[in-house]
Amino acid sequence: MGSLVVFGILWIVGSLLGEWGATAWIDSAPNGTGPYFGTASNLGLVGVHAFDFLIWVAVPIFVFVVLMILFAMFKFRARRDENVTNAPSQVRNNKAFVGTWIVISILLNLLIWLHPNASGLEQVFAAQLPANNPKPVVIDVTARQWEWIFSYPQYHITQSLNASGQDTLYMPVNRPVKFVLRSYDPFHSYAHQVDVIHGFWIPAFGVKYDVIPGETRILYLTATKLMSTETNPMARVQCSEVCGPGHPYMEANLHVVTGSQFAAWAKAQAARG
């Protein structure tokens, strides 16, 4: 009984300390983004809330098992020169403990499935409804081996390039963007046998979506922070699904700019042709 009380106290104290440390970690950056980084979009914010919540759930479980391992190593350890003797207690079942364990593990799993998973998914699904994304900037994203190509049909930009001729993604902040994701090669006649899956990923936005040959997939996204690859290397487009030898190099620069900067950039790009 004595060990049980000590264990209980240590577990509560350890969990509280753990939760305190986790919260400090989570709050070490604005909006609870401490450990997560990928939060500069509406979808990324859903992810970070899930991540933070799960850290709080995981801490007491982690402390419970680790404390039990430490108890086994120090409290229940057989003395070195003691002869091998049976443990004094030979409890082979404890209905209260087993029952509590099973009930708690079922409830905990149902909880984290409902929240943050199902509740977060509801937000993700809602964010993908066209009605919730008025007046989006449409960006056609074409993935080929191994290049990201961005075109802006509303602005008559067929391929957005920077001064050195590299593909660049510009998008306005706080305005819905409709990414139209396709995998093919606009520079050659279509070769079905070399068309592969790519992953459209912007680490800073906290979201990725795969680009499947033969399918057109839509991703609605709203960037919430001004950023560019030059100032934040996580603000980049990176292929996340292995797509052949050029996969590590399949990235593009990203600029999230204000509405007026975006309009000026689009005008200049369109003028370049």
Binding status of residue 249 toward other proteins by CB under 8 A: yes
Cβ neighbours for 140, distance < 8 A, ≥ 6 positions apart:
150, 151, 152, 153, 180, 182
How far is the C-alpha of 272 from the C-alpha of 130, rounded, in Å? 31
Query: By CB under 8 A, what part of segment 5-44 binds other proteins?
Result: 35-38, 43-44
Q: Would you say 157 or 221 has its CB closer to other proteins?
A: 221
The CB-side HSE value for 266 (13 A sphere, CA atoms) comes to 22
> Which of 58, 263, 264, 268 is close enough to bind other proteins by CB under 8 A?
58
Binding status of residue 78 toward other proteins by CB under 8 A: yes
Taking the complex as a whole, how short is the minimal distance between the CB of residue 264 and other proteins, in angstroms?
28
Residue 200 near residue 158, CB atoms below 8 Å: no
Residue 185 near residue 196, CB atoms below 8 Å: no
Q: Measure the N-to-C terminal CA separation of the chain; round to a whole number of Å.
A: 80
> Which of 28, 109, 132, 258 is close enough to bind other proteins by CB under 8 A?
109
Binding status of residue 121 toward other proteins by CB under 8 A: yes
Taking the complex as a whole, how short is the minimal distance between the CB of residue 243 and other proteins, in angstroms?
6
Q: Would you say 50 or 177 has its CB closer to other proteins?
A: 50
Taking the complex as a whole, how short is the minimal distance between the CB of residue 149 and other proteins, in angstroms?
18
Binding status of residue 267 toward other proteins by CB under 8 A: no
> Which of 25, 62, 161, 261 is close enough to bind other proteins by CB under 8 A?
62
Q: Would you say 100 or 154 has its CB closer to other proteins?
A: 100
From its phi and psi, is residue 213 left (phi > 0), alpha (psi between -120 and 50) or beta?
beta
Site string for other proteins, 184-223 (x = CB under 8 A): --------xxxxxx-x-x-xx-xxxxx-xxxx--------
Residue with token string 């995998």: 183
* Per rule CB under 8 A, count of chain residues that contact other proteins: 91
Binding status of residue 248 toward other proteins by CB under 8 A: yes
Handedness of CA 233, 234, 237, 240 (dihedral sign): positive
How far is the C-alpha of 168 from the C-alpha of 164, rounded, in Å? 10
